[in-house]
Copies of this chain bind each other. A is one copy, B any other.
Amino acid sequence: MDEDVRRLSAERLQRLGEELFVACGAPPADAALVAAELVDASLMGLESHGVTRYVMYVEEVLAGRIRPGAPVRVVRQTANLAVVDCGLNFGAVAASRMVEIACAKAQAAGIAYVVSRHCHHVGRLGGWVQKVAERGLFGLAVANSSKHGHFVVPWGGREGRLATNPLAFAAPTSGRPVVLDMSTSMIAEGKIRVLLHAGQQVPPGRVQDADGRPTTDPQRFYGPPRGTILPLGGELGYKGFGLALLVEILGSVLAGEPLTDDFRYINGLGLLAIDPKPLCGRRRFRSLMDQLCAYITSCPPAPGHEEVTMPGELDFRTKEQRQRDGIPLPATTCRQLEAVAAKVGLEVHL
Which A residues are closer than 8 A to B by beta carbons? 76-81, 83, 109-113, 115, 138, 140, 153-159, 161-162, 169, 171, 178, 180, 182, 186, 203, 205, 208, 211-213, 232-236, 238-239, 241-243, 245-246, 248-250, 253-259, 272, 274, 276, 278-281, 284-285, 288-289, 291-292, 295-297, 299-303, 305-311
Residues of B within 8 Å of A235, CB to CB, are 203
Whether the pair A274, B234 counts as a contact (CB closer than 8 A) is no
Residues of B within 8 Å of A250, CB to CB, are 138
Whether the pair A311, B241 counts as a contact (CB closer than 8 A) is yes
Residues of B within 8 Å of A178, CB to CB, are 245
Would you mind naming 28 contact pairs between A and B with Cβ atoms under 8 Å apart?
A76-B279, A78-B110, A83-B279, A111-B111, A138-B249, A154-B308, A156-B301, A156-B302, A156-B307, A156-B309, A157-B299, A157-B302, A157-B305, A157-B308, A158-B301, A178-B245, A180-B243, A180-B246, A205-B234, A212-B302, A213-B302, A233-B233, A243-B243, A245-B296, A245-B311, A253-B292, A256-B288, A258-B288
A46 → chain B closest CB, angstroms: 14
Whether the pair B254, A279 counts as a contact (CB closer than 8 A) is yes
Chain B residue with minimal CB distance to A288?
Answer: B253
A245 → chain B closest CB, angstroms: 7
Given contacts A115-B279, A180-B243, 19 further A-B contacts (CB under 8 A): A81-B278, A156-B306, A157-B300, A157-B305, A158-B302, A159-B300, A180-B246, A205-B234, A211-B303, A212-B300, A212-B303, A232-B239, A249-B289, A253-B289, A253-B292, A254-B276, A254-B280, A254-B285, A259-B291
Chain B residue with minimal CB distance to A248?
Answer: B292
Residues of B within 8 Å of A248, CB to CB, are 292
Whether the pair B256, A285 counts as a contact (CB closer than 8 A) is yes
Chain B residue with minimal CB distance to A275?
Answer: B81
Residues of B within 8 Å of A111, CB to CB, are 80-81, 111-113
Whether the pair B159, A299 counts as a contact (CB closer than 8 A) is yes
Chain B residue with minimal CB distance to A234?
Answer: B234
Chain B residue with minimal CB distance to A233?
Answer: B232
Chain B residue with minimal CB distance to A242?
Answer: B180
Residues of B within 8 Å of A258, CB to CB, are 288, 291
Whether the pair A280, B299 counts as a contact (CB closer than 8 A) is no
Chain B residue with minimal CB distance to A147?
Answer: B295
A146 → chain B closest CB, angstroms: 13
Chain B residue with minimal CB distance to A287?
Answer: B258
A138–B234 Cα distance when bound, in Å, is 27
Whether the pair B80, A109 counts as a contact (CB closer than 8 A) is yes
Given A208-B302, A234-B234, is A280 in contact with B83 using a C-beta cutoff of 8 Å? yes
A214 → chain B closest CB, angstroms: 9
Whether the pair B182, A239 counts as a contact (CB closer than 8 A) is yes
A258 → chain B closest CB, angstroms: 6
A39 → chain B closest CB, angstroms: 24
